[in-house]
Structure 1
Amino acid sequence: MHRILIMSIVIASTLLSGCINPPEEPPLLAAFETREYQAQKGLAVIHASSLYARGGTGQGVAVALIDSGLNSHLPEFQGRLLDPGFDYIEKQAGTSDRIGHGTQMAGILAANKDDQGMHGVAYNAQLIPYRFGDNDEPFFFDSEIAQSWQAGFDKGARILNNSWANAIPATEINEARYNQVMPESLMTARKLVRDGAVFVFPTGNELKREPLAEPGLPVALPELEKGWIAVVAVKNDGSSINAKSNYCGVAAAWCIAVPGGDSGAEQGLLTTSKDGKYVQTAGTSPAAALVSGALAALQSRYPELSTQQVRERLLATANRTGIYANSEAYGRGLMDLEAASRL
């Protein structure tokens, strides 16, 4: 009895003296779990409201969007552009978006919190859009991609969202082969990773057990890993991998799982269309955009950390319980912004 009493006094004294940090108080989440938040079904699965309540909304953080462009005139993107970017098809500053893919990814990433439709995971972040190739595969637009990466980095983006990948299995890529088709991109990626950038790629939508070339590139070039994230898509309820997504496979060490919607009516992630309506999208492309936005939001929570340190925090705090212990499929696990934002 005396021993228990003495121990209680010691613990209480230690807590008061600051030697042991008391548990962090749970944040007040209701203010952030709005109708917009609930409409974007992926946000609740990754516990984004906990990050918002702790100050992580993307404020002051830029993301380069390398895609089919962006309709920046939509209300959802007012105030969200750090720079108009560049259109490599029209050869001019600023972008249009003929097919709508880039605008959909931008919505997932950073659409405004304005009581309309839905909002992006990093609703206070800023975007720098680049248009290349539209939807023309393969994506061997080497010079345009390399220039987009470098320009985005030079204008302040340390997070580079690439919701595309070339349909070559990562297991078949080596440095020499990739250098044949994407030499400028390879050189630029190496340089920017050394300089602190983080590249985000989807694993691909072929329902294969291995990712495509770009998400798996650190297999061939290990020095890229510290600045790389591959993204696998799960269903909106987080119950399993979705009907399209490739596994993490050989990219498991730098791969993370997030909601990417699924096929069927009302089964996708809600986002913005190029004409201003709200539409459903599904696959590993929106999943990658969700991760890029999460990185931006988490970076604003931890401005003292480098973007590559934020990347490692995001991966290290992923949920690996249940099905997410299967690293072949889900890599480091299901993204958990409550855990990632916890002191």
Structure 2
Amino acid sequence: MPHPFSALRTLALTSASLLAGCLTLPEQPHTEAAAFETPEYRAQQGLEIVKASALYARGGTGQNVIVALIDSGLNSNLTEFEGRLSDPGFDHVENRPGTVDRVGHGTQMAGILAANKDGQGMHGMAFDARLIPFRFGDDNEPFFFDSEIAQSWQSGFDKGARLFNNSWANAIPATEITEARYNQVMPDSLAVARKLVEDGAVFVFPTGNELKREPLAEPGLPVALPELEKGWIAVVALKNDGSAINGKSNYCGVAAAWCIAVPGGDAGPQAGLLTVSKDGRYVQTAGTSPAAALVSGALAALQSLYPQLNAQQVREHLLATANRTGIYANSEAYGRGLMDLEAASRRIPGSLAN
């Protein structure tokens, strides 16, 4: 499974349509956040940095939300995913319903996103969400599998998913993409993405793992096709402590207006995010791929807290409530800032306040 990516360029944030989300919910959390800060929670280091326990305490754990996972498949037989599938999905490599995971990347992303809260190892960001896994080509550029990706997106949408985790990208800098060029390499996917965004879907992509100043093609695609922005999120990876961008993440660059920063782990022993491997072991993973999965999980958990909102309204609220203080004010690197689930679960979304 390729991990192509890239990053940085200044972009003014001028969109008047972004929600301010400045009001405060009168209710207190139903449960103390500390009740969720278990050894299992702390083992997944990214959760604490983005204040996931505050969202859990207010009732946002992903219940009744479906996320499509387009990746190298999923070993759904693992106990971490018991009860977590909404549908078996489809394996485009073996051309059959359900998936296997020969590479392991998809299973690791699924763990970051929605592994069970069961007292074992770690748990996913949205541990009550449900997944639909799709497997496309295991070891090549995504553009070779354009039709498989397009079919996966459409099938996921038809089966109830409005959130799509795509922990991959084509190795073309976003600054070199035009509508015509992208239509040459990913025509089927482009057509489906346009349709599904118009119908309310949200696509999450990593900026890439090349330590560049600009993101790769997919995370930066709204530069060439602005109509996609309302259904798009690009994700940069921070070190586990949130102190800075990690050792290989591309910057937000031209995608700054729809980009957010979350922990994605880093190189070195115990420096990655803990997840589950295809054989059921707990392993470290690092990069913008797990960072994207963390954001997809956050969208699912937040959607479950605000079921009145559609996926695109939840996306706007997540971006609007990001932490832009200190280093995170640098939109070139960190886009809208550090994802902050305490703020996102405390402030009334603008569409509900109006």
CA distance in 2, matches of 1:224, 1:146: 15
The structure showing larger relative contact order (alpha-carbon pairs under 8 Å, at least 6 residues apart) is: 2
Q: Kindly indicate whether the alpha-carbon contact (under 8 Å) linking 1:232 and 1:246 is maintained by their aligned counterparts in 2.
A: yes
Q: Kindly indicate whether the alpha-carbon contact (under 8 Å) linking 1:193 and 1:227 is maintained by their aligned counterparts in 2.
A: yes
1:39 match:
43
| 1:67 corresponds to 2:67 | no
Number of equivalent positions: 324
1:231 match:
235
SS of alignment partner, residue 38 of structure 1? helix
1:13 match:
none
Q: Kindly indicate whether the alpha-carbon contact (under 8 Å) linking 2:204 and 2:234 is maintained by their aligned counterparts in 1.
A: yes
SS of alignment partner, residue 80 of structure 1? coil
* 1:135 Cα deviation after fit: 2.8
1:92 match:
96
| 1:195 corresponds to 2:199 | yes
Q: What's the TM-score once normalised by structure 1's chain length?
A: 0.93
One-letter amino acid of the counterpart of residue 338, structure 1: E
* 2:86 pairs with one of 71, 82, 88: 82
CA distance change for structure 1 residues 22 and 342 in 2, over 3 Å: closer, same or farther?
closer
* 1:130 pairs with one of 97, 117, 134: 134
Q: Kindly indicate whether the alpha-carbon contact (under 8 Å) linking 1:231 and 1:287 is maintained by their aligned counterparts in 2.
A: yes
One-letter amino acid of the counterpart of residue 144, structure 1: E
1:291 match:
295
Unmatched 5+ stretches in structure 2: 1-22, 348-354
SS of alignment partner, residue 231 of structure 1? strand
SS of alignment partner, residue 242 of structure 2? coil
CA distance in 2, matches of 1:180, 1:129: 27
1:12 match:
none
Q: Kindly indicate whether the alpha-carbon contact (under 8 Å) linking 1:133 and 1:139 is maintained by their aligned counterparts in 2.
A: no
CA distance change for structure 1 residues 317 and 22 in 2, over 3 Å: closer, same or farther?
closer
SS of alignment partner, residue 301 of structure 2? helix
* 1:137 Cα deviation after fit: 2.3
One-letter amino acid of the counterpart of residue 224, structure 2: A
Superposed structure 1 runs of 4+ greater than 2 Å apart: 20-27, 137-140
SS of alignment partner, residue 184 of structure 2? helix
CA distance change for structure 1 residues 275 and 54 in 2, over 3 Å: closer, same or farther?
same
* 1:31 Cα deviation after fit: 1.2
CA distance change for structure 1 residues 148 and 268 in 2, over 3 Å: closer, same or farther?
same
User: For 1:127-157, what per-residue CA distance to the aligned partner results, in whole angstroms no more than 9, with x for missing partners?
Assistant: 0000001132254311000000000000000
Q: Kindly indicate whether the alpha-carbon contact (under 8 Å) linking 2:163 and 2:203 is maintained by their aligned counterparts in 1.
A: yes
One-letter amino acid of the counterpart of residue 244, structure 1: K
CA distance in 2, matches of 1:67, 1:22: 37
Q: What's the TM-score once normalised by structure 2's chain length?
A: 0.90
User: For 1:148-198, what per-residue CA distance to the aligned partner results, in whole angstroms no more than 9, with x for missing partners?
Assistant: 000000000000000000010000000000000100000000000000000
1:249 match:
253
Q: Kindly indicate whether the alpha-carbon contact (under 8 Å) linking 2:197 and 2:231 is maintained by their aligned counterparts in 1.
A: yes
Q: Cα RMSD over matched residues?
A: 1.2
One-letter amino acid of the counterpart of residue 252, structure 1: A
SS of alignment partner, residue 180 of structure 1? helix
| 1:155 corresponds to 2:183 | no
CA distance change for structure 1 residues 248 and 22 in 2, over 3 Å: closer, same or farther?
closer
User: For 1:38-77, what per-residue CA distance to the aligned partner results, in whole angstroms no more than 9, with x for missing partners?
Assistant: 0000000000000000000000000000000000000000
CA distance in 2, matches of 1:148, 1:258: 26
Q: Kindly indicate whether the alpha-carbon contact (under 8 Å) linking 2:25 and 2:346 is maintained by their aligned counterparts in 1.
A: no
1:145 match:
149
| 1:261 corresponds to 2:255 | no
1:3 match:
none
> How many percent of aligned residue pairs carry the same amino acid?
82
| 1:308 corresponds to 2:315 | no
CA distance in 2, matches of 1:338, 1:102: 28
User: For 1:194-222, what per-residue CA distance to the aligned partner results, in whole angstroms no more than 9, with x for missing partners?
Assistant: 00000000000000000000000000000
| 1:54 corresponds to 2:58 | yes
Q: Kindly indicate whether the alpha-carbon contact (under 8 Å) linking 2:271 and 2:284 is maintained by their aligned counterparts in 1.
A: yes
| 1:111 corresponds to 2:100 | no
2:16 match:
none
Larger radius of gyration: 1
CA distance in 1, matches of 2:67, 2:24: 34
Q: Kindly indicate whether the alpha-carbon contact (under 8 Å) linking 2:143 and 2:186 is maintained by their aligned counterparts in 1.
A: no
CA distance in 2, matches of 1:162, 1:199: 7
2:337 match:
333
One-letter amino acid of the counterpart of residue 132, structure 1: F
CA distance change for structure 1 residues 22 and 279 in 2, over 3 Å: closer, same or farther?
closer
Q: Kindly indicate whether the alpha-carbon contact (under 8 Å) linking 1:138 and 1:167 is maintained by their aligned counterparts in 2.
A: no
User: For 1:257-287, what per-residue CA distance to the aligned partner results, in whole angstroms no more than 9, with x for missing partners?
Assistant: 0000000010000000000000000000000
